[in-house]
Structures are given as C-alpha cells and as structure tokens.
Structure 1
Amino acid sequence: MGLSSFFKNLFGSAKKTADEFATSAETAFEEAKVAATPYIDKAEAFAEETFEKVKETATPIIEKTKEAAAPIIEKAEVYADQAQEIANEYSSKAADAIEKIVESVKEKTAATTEEVEDLTSKATETVTEKINSTVNEADSETTETIKEAETKIEKDQI
C-alpha cells in the first residue's frame, strides 16, 4: 500500500502543478493580450494612415499619367485609323488588280479558243478537200482503168 500512496501523491501533485501551470499560462496570455491591445490598435491606425497617404500621393500621379498618356492614346487611335484606311485602299486596289487579271485571262482564253476553233475548222476543210481530191482522182483512175479493161475485153472478143 505504501507504493500506491506514493504514486497517488506523486501524480496528484503533478496534476496540481499542471493545473497551476495552465492557470498561470492563461493569466499570462490574458495579460499579454491586454498589454498588446494598444500596440495592435496603433499598428492598425498606422496602416490606415499609411494607406490614406499612399492614396493621396498616388492620385495626382495617376491623374498626371492619364493626362500625359491621353495625347499618346489619341495619336495611336489616329495612326490606327490611318492604317485601316490605307489597308482598305490597298485591299480595294488589290481586288481591282485581281479582277483585271481575271478579265485578261478570260479574254486571252477566249481568243485562244477561237484560234483553235479556226485552225480546227481549216484543218477539217483541208483534210476534206484532200480526201475529196484523192477520191476523185481514184474515181477517175478507176473509171479509166475500167474503160481500158472494157476496151481490151472488146478487142479480145472481136
């Protein structure tokens, strides 16, 4: 039994010491919190004041920057408008040039087609004439040969 009472006393006093330490820490925390409150308030006030000062200082700078940038922005807009006009002008010129090229190709193609048709027609006429001439010659030769053969046959029969 002496041993169990020893442990009870030992751990009982440790429990009391832990409770006292927790109470002491809580008290210290509350005191630190109370002591820090004015510093926290001062830091918040300082941050707000600094923000307001930066805002006051930056506002004129921002306004001056806007004023300084306004002519540059206007010039950029003018240049953009000019660039667009030039691009439109050149695109319409390019369209006109392409249209002229297409018309020229159409005309040349039509002329070439007509020439080919004329040449084909002339070639057909020439070939037809040659064929007719050859047929006529052959016809005449055949007729002559037949007459000669008839004459020869008649002479042979007499």
Structure 2
Amino acid sequence: MALQSSRVPLLAAGVTGLLLLLISLPPFVPPSIRALLMAAFAPVCHQLPDRSFWIDGVQLAVCQRCYGIYTGLFLGSLLLPLLGDGARWIYRRAPLVLSGALLPPALDWGLQLVHLWHNTPLTRTLTGLWFGLGAGLLLAATLRYAPRKTQPCPA
C-alpha cells in the first residue's frame, strides 16, 4: 500500500526529527547510552571536540556543521508542504538546488583549507544549516514527486 503523497514529507520530517533528537541526547542520557550514540554517529562525523557543541560538559553526537545539517534536514522537510507548487520546482531542479545548498559550506570549508578564511562555530553551523535546508527540501520533494513503480519487481 503506497503512502499518500501529502504524507510523505511528514514521514521525512519524522525521520529527520528523530535523527536530530538522537544527536542531541548525549548530555541527557546515561554514559552507556551516550557511548552508543557517539559510536552510531562516528561513521558520518569526525566529532572533533573543538568543533562540537557541548552541554553541561558533554559533547553532542556530531560536530557543529553536522548539527546544522541535521537541523536543516528537519526544517527543510517540514517547510516543503508550505511551498505549494514551489515544491515541484525544487524536485525538477534538483541539481541546481543541491549546488546552491552545497556552495556556502564548500566555500567555508575550502577557504579555511587554503588559509584564506577562518571559519567559526557560527559559520560552520549556519553553512551546515543552509545545506541541510536545501537537502531537506529536496529529500521531501523527491519522496513526494518521484515516480513510483506500481508493479512488483519480478523475483
């Protein structure tokens, strides 16, 4: 049974919201669960202590840029239903949307790498948020508008 297309962005918001909750939990859970959360997100984030947010002396499960990305994924998937016909435009222009979303974090990272810019917690978080918003909008739009097979695949 296929999900109604109007519910799919809400599914994306639910999944990305759950991820945002999980990366924010380490300061609020026992050390054993904290270690599990940190290990779960280690494959996708460097988790450098000096580039991560801390609450009450406990590091969150991802760095500042990744925190911005996860926040943006959640917000972007929530915003898609508010765009009306603009949501279809996002799906049809996926490469443009993705390029526009990637440009600020790429510049923030790349200019730091060649010593032309010194990024800060704020720039890392905001550029991650920008990318996450674009990716979240694109994720929800793709889930809503991508063609679906109606026949089962042959075994």
Query: TM-score, normalised on structure 2?
Result: 0.19
Say which one has the larger Rg: 1
Instruction: Give the helix-richer structure, 1 or 2.
Output: 1
Report which structure shows greater RCO (CA 8 Å, sep ≥6): 2
TM-score of the pair, normalised by structure 1: 0.19
